[in-house]
Structure 1
């Protein structure tokens, strides 16, 4: 048979779109043509496949005109994931393996020149795309273990091209050893018995107000901005937020792992662990929100269901800062290019830190700030009002005297605070099916359950401070989280008054 079809997958955002690799052999001047909107690394598969077949003592049809089509033609294809299906298509079209048996499988894998298979990005996304289908997926080591995390997935692990070829040899050409099956069925990988715990909150001495804001952020999924002089513990506090968050559900873990897999940054050892990302303040807007051709997820998507820590927030490029506004509001980011578009989830918890002025010591009690008012104004103006309006909690972290640090008793551990945060989240989920930060306009009206006196107090405060409608709603959501931490069914004036402290008038 001179025509063969092999199935594979291409990545389009978080979606793994089906691709059919069509291989046709025809008489004529020997050539190897690859079509179907393939990127450069895909076109280079011609040389990798040729060398892998010859090194594996398989016959490469060098005297035929070879045409490989990656359908659909309008879907961009990248990476070396199509090496294995192209090689199998050539062998099937030349009659060396059974072409009909290939229909029950999908393949992905990059070939070395010796025929060994190398891992590919997005293996978990490919496995999730097969949910509910009877198709089996063949992947290299390093990718098969990752894909096996998908529920009900039938994954096969092959380390070499010959391991796959043996499975599709004609009946009279099967190996004499019946145990030589060519590949192995990949089961759920062995996960680490003990997960490395994040730093403990008890290590932070003092800073009671900042710790309280961190607890509220963890309980309600709120974003947090900490401002204060250098060395006051802002980074220490941010590093401990992930230890206060409740355990991930299986659905959350699959979404997070699939996104990390697209960037090649997931390992089974990180399964069920909330990601914590802290890009440098020189990161570009593309690095944060994603981009490229085809579009790939950025740091905000890779932090999905986890924590994104941005230190030195005003030092980030203005384009990168403004790019945060949409995902902070919607929990998703849509990347649009001239030829294609992709949408990634980005429901992360933002924890940002900044100094109050260029020298960092504005308002400090232990050192004098030497910045001029104009320098301070320009520095703080790097953060736009719309961006600050989308951050739920604003807290100032003051410097502590040496006497308060030396010999100070340890505070509550992360485990104790996490128990309160988990209980508060469970109350919110039982009431409205989502965390308080994710409440929209109509949900707020039904979920806040606020007393009339507290509502009057909030109305007067919002009018005097000149809040926007968004600022008012975010204060209500923070107050609702404070009430959940207190185990209160209704929001009282006390809960609203505490929430007011985290939205100062100058940031509204």
Structure 2
């Protein structure tokens, strides 16, 4: 007898509907899975048969054939265990064949219990698009899947199950559990908790202002300063002044974490911007994504948030160079022989480095801590094209003792965030008519939009030309200066870029001028 039901396969951060066909006939007992399954699916035979028997079902010796359609798309993962087992029981008439408009996903343990799967959120989003009426997933994934249903206000019902027997009873109508529901609005009502507030940071007023500008325009930023100057603390405080995640951003970010199996059980939706801080020994694959199953890397896990690279020159040259594509395109392409996968990578790059391989540029006596050649070699680890893609370069000097012991209160993150949100609202209104591609911040502007929204008066144009000639700036650096200047003007509520905005934007190109004066 033939049974058919639905499952799903993940491709990047999206899911594709898969028809699971199970045919049971007489003949030499066997269990065959066709339809481009990976090793995890091929190995499911023993898990499924053992789980079915341990759940109390009697399996006669039969020839079992499982087809996963469409057959020309590769299927991966252990989430096909449960749909295959349910289809098998349906073909043996141990479950009523009541599978119309039902999508089932889950990994089986040998005792018949059901384990958590990856990618429940994209599966639920696909189920809504395909107008599937009933979605059965592991109980640990039920809230995650229900987020998509609640947000879309679809009539798809989500049920969370813990065992194979529980699933069989649900399909046989022996139990009538309530579908899982999630109040999405309630998830966004909680005030995020940040580890560092700007009020906790002593001094560094210039650096704080630069971070405010970076947050307001979504600009990449590089901090240069000696050890102990507060670069890492400033970076960790940056999320506290970023605008809150919108629902669309939250859903897209959550999809990435769902696919990567990094979503916390008690947090079915990402409501705070991610902050990723990989170690400098991180490999190219871990940074950009890939591996045998093309998993998302750190650049994708930082989507809609911050990727912080501390000790930037200590990363391998290859690891830094792979950042160039996602910084430019806001997505990353992971190519394999069987499939090419695209992951979003719209992150803010925040990097920190020492001015010298020895740490501080000069010692207490004013002498260089390393030779000019060593310093130049240290700096050359960061290529010019990568530096061009970083909008703001700032000096973070050592904090003076008078500032460190000062009792005066610094400005809080909440106050700074209010200014950042106002600047972002100006940008949203400015780019509301731009739909292809959809952009939200000044940092995302391409050449055409820069010419439209970053016009300069003749005096300011001459000032920028002089700076380009004096500093030998590239065309990309020219565009970055204009975008940063536009953000500075937005923070002041100015409709035009004034001379003072442009001068400040030029000053944020430290590494384009003679920053290391020996």
User: Superposed, which structure 2 residues align to 1:56-455 within 5 Å?
Assistant: 56-61=55-60, 63-99=61-97, 101-135=98-132, 136-150=134-148, 151=151, 152-153=153-154, 154=156, 155-169=158-172, 175=174, 180-181=175-176, 183-188=177-182, 191=187, 193-267=190-264, 269=267, 271-363=270-362, 368-433=367-432, 434-455=440-461
Distance 1:490 1:407, change over 3 A: same
| Structure 1 unaligned regions, length at least 5 | none
Distance 1:363 1:244, change over 3 A: farther
How far is the alpha carbon of 1:76 from its aligned partner?
A: 2.1
How far is the alpha carbon of 1:348 from its aligned partner?
A: 0.4
CA distance in 2, matches of 1:367, 1:460: 33
- TM-score norm. by structure 2 comes to 0.92
Tell me the SS of whatever aligns to 1:68: strand
Tell me the SS of whatever aligns to 2:352: strand
Encode CA deviations 1:327-382: one digit per residue, 9 max, x unaligned: 11110111111221000110001110111121111156687543122211111111
Matched pairs, number? 496
CA distance in 2, matches of 1:473, 1:20: 50
Encode CA deviations 1:284-340: one digit per residue, 9 max, x unaligned: 111011002331111110111011111111111211100100111110111111221
CA distance in 1, matches of 2:75, 2:448: 42
Q: Comparing 214-223 with 498-507, which one deviates more in the overlay? A: 498-507
How far is the alpha carbon of 1:81 from its aligned partner?
A: 0.3
Encode CA deviations 1:232-288: one digit per residue, 9 max, x unaligned: 000000001111101111000000000111111113536311111101111011101
Contact 2:7 2:103 in 1 (8 A): yes
Tell me the SS of whatever aligns to 1:149: helix
1:7 corresponding residue in structure 2: 6
1:25 corresponding residue in structure 2: 24
Tell me the SS of whatever aligns to 1:260: helix
How far is the alpha carbon of 1:396 from its aligned partner?
A: 1.1
CA distance in 1, matches of 2:45, 2:457: 71
1:473 corresponding residue in structure 2: 479
| Structure 2 unaligned regions, length at least 5 | 433-439
Q: Comparing 185-194 with 299-308, which one deviates more in the overlay? A: 185-194
CA distance in 1, matches of 2:254, 2:364: 45
Contact 2:362 2:369 in 1 (8 A): no
CA distance in 1, matches of 2:484, 2:21: 56
Contact 1:467 1:505 in 2 (8 A): no
Contact 2:473 2:512 in 1 (8 A): no
How far is the alpha carbon of 1:428 from its aligned partner?
A: 1.1
Contact 1:76 1:294 in 2 (8 A): no
Residue 504 of structure 2 is aligned to residue 503 of structure 1: no
Q: Comparing 475-484 with 129-138, which one deviates more in the overlay? A: 129-138
How far is the alpha carbon of 1:131 from its aligned partner?
A: 3.0
Distance 1:38 1:369, change over 3 A: farther
CA distance in 1, matches of 2:508, 2:262: 35
How far is the alpha carbon of 1:507 from its aligned partner?
A: 6.5
How far is the alpha carbon of 1:37 from its aligned partner?
A: 2.0
CA distance in 1, matches of 2:45, 2:226: 58
Tell me the SS of whatever aligns to 1:20: strand
Encode CA deviations 1:411-435: one digit per residue, 9 max, x unaligned: 1100000000110111111112321
How far is the alpha carbon of 1:168 from its aligned partner?
A: 2.5
How far is the alpha carbon of 1:195 from its aligned partner?
A: 3.1
